[in-house]
Amino acid sequence: MQPSSCDTFVALPPSTVGQRIIFGKNSDRPCDEVQEVVYFPAKDYEAGKKVECTYIEIEQVAHTYAVVLSKPAWLWGAEMGANEHQVCIGNEAVWGRESADDEEALLGMDLVRLGLERADTAERAVDVIAELLEKYGQGGSCMEDDSGFTYHNSFLISDRKEAWLLETSGKYWAAERVEAGFRNISNEYNITTKIDKEHPEMREYARNKGWWDGKTKFNFATVYSFTTTARIEAAGSRYCEGKKMLKKSNGHITAERMMDILRDKDSGINMEGMFMTTGSMVSVIPSDPALPGVHYFTATPDPDRSVFKPFIFVSNITQLKETTSPSYGPDDPVKKKPRFQSKPDRKHELFVKHELVAAIIDSYKDRGKKITESMRKLEKEKMTQMEEVLSHGVKEPDSLVNLFSGSVQEEMAVYSKH
């Protein structure tokens, strides 16, 4: 399987403006797949409770944190998201020497959600995901049509003070701490010789497989990849292009700059075609714990034709109905055997309206230009409002309960005007 999807980025001081961490991700998925943005409040559970993930049930923990997720509508897990402690996680498909398992287990997207629900720091999220891998494994089709599309996963995880890169191959894994500067990942192993945490049997497993002689300096990407790390740096790759853009903006990376990178089509980061960017996220996390993080989501395909809308964790938030797809419960084909006999309509309200507007933008140059300009104006207004919150905190939390939903409604009002 050729790597064909997703880019995740993180920038930390001194690469950013102010004492902030900027996290960004494009979720590149099949072009007919709907991605929803949903919120789940913190919750306590009784002992012995189970949680039903995409394919398997696992043990639930006593308490889960509040999360906001951008997720393919057909599955339980998420491509990217954040929690109330300002932990952000995005995952990437990776392929290596070890075959990815098609036996149903936890998907990488399940691990994203579980990490967010169970970890209050980035390092703790690494531990949570590693523990779940050891206990339940990873595997199963990552597409709704059961195409046998399987992969291992890498994760970029950040919080208020640092970031972690976690890369997996089956149950084996390595993790690298990132304390300053910037980092991006695409669809190839990226950890080399700086390994800050690892599966205790990861090196011995590679030695027994003949991938490592046990003497030369251990390089995770070289040992577990199909090819050497030289391929990772190959000119023209999305990874290389993303790294160049981060480097060019080093010292003045902002949310706006991260959005520009996610919108870049020449690099392939904003992907088009059978696999395309179906959802995007940018988070701004101040180092000061007294200040809130702001999480921007599109909930629609192609960030160049979408509005990044803000979300802030406050009490009393209800479900984000305009970006929540229809639920089919036990009648959902994903939960039935045999599966995938039919694919139900999963389009949420914003997706439907955006789909119509995207067609107008494609077909009518002048009209499309006006719509795009109005969308950018709305986005700029929201970001200006959020800058006040990022700098001075939340004075009236109740005023932000409907921040994301209200922004979605304003976006749809823009569509209606044109």
DSSP string, 112-168: HHHHHHH-SSHHHHHHHHHHHHHHH-B-S-SSTT------EEEEEEE-SS-EEEEEE
Q: Per-residue pLDDT averaged across 333-350, rounded?
A: 77
> For the stretch 53-89, what's the b/e string if a residue is b when 16 or more beta carbons lie within 10 angstroms of its beta carbon?
bbbbebebeeebbbbbbbbbbbbbbbbbbbbbbbbbb
Average of per-residue pLDDT across 327-349: 78
Q: What is the pLDDT of residue 341?
A: 60
- 229-236 contacts: CB < 8 A, separation 24 or more? 229/189, 229/192, 231/188, 232/188, 232/189, 232/190
Instruction: Quote the pLDDT of residue 339.
Output: 58
Residue closest to 296 by CA, chosen among 378, 406, 382, 400: 382
Nearest CA among 54, 42, 46 for reference residue 120: 42
Tokens of 333: 């084909």
| DSSP β-bridge partners for residue 155 | 91, 166
How high is the pLDDT of residue 131? 98
What are 367-376's pLDDT values in tens digits? Answer: 999 999 999 9
What is the average pLDDT score of the chain?
A: 93
Give the 3-state secondary structure of 182-209. EEEECCCCCCCCCCCEECCCHHHHHHHH
Q: Which CATH superfamily is domain 7-354 in?
A: Penicillin V Acylase; Chain A (3.60.60.10)
Confirm if 385 and 312 have CB atoms less than 8 A apart: no
* Domain ranges for the chain: 7-354
- 142 falls in which pLDDT band (50, 70, 90)? confident
In our burial notation (b when 16+ CB lie closer than 10 A, e otherwise), range 332-358 reads: ebbeeeeeeeeebebbbbbbebbeebb
Terminal CA-CA length for the chain: 42
- pTM of this structure: 0.95
pLDDT digit string (tens) for 95-115? 899 888 888 999 999 999 999
- Mean pLDDT across 85-103: 92
- CA dist., res. 217 & res. 304, Å (int): 43
> 6, 53, 88, 142: which one is catalytic?
6
Which band of pLDDT confidence, cut at 50, 70 and 90, is reported for residue 336? low
Amino acid in the structure at residue 256: E
Query: Is 53 one of the annotated active-site residues of the chain?
Result: no
Across residues 222-250, what is the average pLDDT? 77
Flag whether pLDDT at 3 surpasses 50: no
Does the structure show a pLDDT above 90 at 121? Answer: yes
Q: What pLDDT, on the 0 to 100 scale, is given for residue 343?
A: 80
Give the pLDDT mean for 332-357. 83
The residue-averaged pLDDT of 160-188 equals: 96
Q: With a cut of 50, say whether residue 72 has pLDDT above it.
A: yes
Of 111-125, 289-303, 331-345, the least confident: 331-345
> Residue 4 pLDDT more than 70?
no
Q: Identify each DSSP E strand in 31-114 by its residue range.
A: 35-40, 43-44, 50-52, 57-59, 63-64, 67-72, 80-83, 88-94
Kindly state the helix (H) or strand (E) to which residue 339 belongs, with its residue range: none
pLDDT single digits (tens) 249-275: 999 999 999 999 999 999 999 999 989
Return the pLDDT at 100: 85
- Determine how many CB atoms are found less than 10 A away from the CB of residue 260: 15
Instruction: Indicate the DSSP class of residue 324.
Output: P
